Copies of this chain bind each other. A is one copy, B any other.
């Protein structure tokens, strides 16, 4: 199968719709032309709808990691205490990021695969005052989904700023920025928003912007300073740094598709597909990394059965079936595989993926009744769609 016919089922980048690719390839306009400014403005307005915020949003050229750092850079000063709740690779990455800004970073460390317990966070917050608490909604390394709404309540009760990383959830799972009280919600473009990688996306509450305004020290970065971007994000005909014109075309197109599908329907589609994926894995005896009470709808990670080699499995998936899945990160490298099922994912893609997982496992010597995973997924999808 040609590389371009492959089905990319990793947890980002995800498959980009052909109409979004066509938008990406439109001739590059002047970044200050009225027509581009109008497209950018529409994208920002649509983004607010997806984030469910009436506050300010930022779309900046950069990766999700830049978005992570931009969130921290604007509000954290060297004298601040920050709590990072980590149950995965990207939670741990926040420790590295925050340590560039303050020595006062503490980690509330959880076993990878376990969802964060809001009660434990509350306890920790009772012990000292933190300026900000950082949580990764869905850690791409495990597929655990933390209860952002409940954690936000606990954090806001203590008057701390709440930073939520939704790189692996925004656009595929419900995120209510204003209602839940997320002070900075950050994301990337290449996951459930379903455009290529290259955009750092953030929202900032009034409290977050106030914290930025009341700093005693300069923001440690010029490029990441909200202050420099704010007027452009409020009026995209203004100039700060040249916006990534073609990526903005793609964002505008994808957001239009997302809103025309409808957020509720989109989340239900993600939930139905995730459920079917889990049914299939359970049926063929694979253990899911995320514990049951906190599983993402955007991706699933599963342990290999004993004796299955990571490299052999993924290469079999890619070369024999043209389906690309991801391996483990950090401490889970070699032990698990990860499947992204977000963005434009359709039931057909999932069925094909489960079929290939079954075929590859079987080929590599894992013994089970072939086809039962796919059967369970079909059954689960039918039930989900009957309910609706």
Tell me, yes or no, whether A16 is within 8 Å of chain B by CB. Answer: yes
Q: Which residue of B lies closest to A9 (CB)?
A: B30
- B8 and A28 form a contact (CB under 8 A): yes
Q: Given A35-B3, A221-B69: A196 and B100 within 8 A (CB)?
A: no
> Interface residues of A: mostly helix, strand, loop or mixed?
loop
B residues within 8 A CB of A188?
242
Specify which of B3, B25, B223, B244 is in contact with A198 (CB 8 Å cutoff): B244
**A12 contacts B242, C-beta separation under 8 Å:** yes
A positions within 8 Å CB-CB of B: 3-4, 6, 8, 10, 12-16, 21-22, 24-33, 35, 61-66, 69, 73, 96-97, 99-101, 188, 190, 196-198, 218-224, 240-247, 318, 324, 326
Query: In the complex, what residue of chain B is closest to A27 when comparing beta carbons?
Result: B4
For the complex, give the distance between the alpha carbons of A31 and B13 in Å.
Answer: 7
Cβ A246 vs Cβ B24 within 8 A: yes
**Set of chain B residues within 8 Å of A65, measured between Cβ atoms:** 222-223, 240-242
Could you tell me if B197 and A324 are in contact, using CB atoms closer than 8 angstroms?
A: no
Whether A8 lies near B24 (C-beta < 8 A) is no
How distant is A69 from chain B, measured CB to nearest CB, in Å? 5
A370 CB to nearest B CB, Å: 27
CB pair A223 B66 closer than 8 Å: yes
Besides A4-B26, A100-B222, A196-B244, 20 new A-B residue pairs in contact (Cβ under 8 A), listed by A number: A6-B27, A13-B28, A13-B31, A15-B27, A21-B27, A22-B25, A24-B246, A28-B190, A30-B326, A31-B197, A33-B324, A62-B66, A63-B241, A99-B218, A100-B218, A100-B219, A188-B242, A190-B242, A197-B246, A198-B198
Residues of B near A69 (CB, < 8 A) are: 221-223
B3→A15 contact, CB < 8 A: no
Q: Is the CB of A13 within 8 A of B197?
A: no
Most chain B CB atoms below 10 A, which of A32, A63, A65: A63
Smallest distance from the beta carbon of A138 to chain B beta carbons, Å?
15
Please, could you name 6 A-B residue pairs with CB atoms under 8 Å apart, sorted by A?
A: A13-B245, A24-B24, A24-B25, A65-B223, A100-B220, A100-B222
Bound-complex Cα distance A224 to B222 (A): 12
Of all chain B residues, the one with the shortest Cβ separation from A218 is B100
Give bound CA distance, A240 to B90, whole Å: 11
Which residues of chain B are within 8 angstroms of A31 by Cβ–Cβ distance? 13, 197
How far is A246 from B73 in the complex, measured between Cα atoms in Å?
28
B8, A29: Cβ atoms closer than 8 Å? yes
Q: Which residue of B has the minimal Cβ distance to A224?
A: B221
A98 to B61 alpha-carbon distance, docked (Å): 20
Are A100 and B221 closer than 8 Å at their CB atoms?
yes
From residue A91, how far is it (CB to closest CB) to chain B in Å?
14
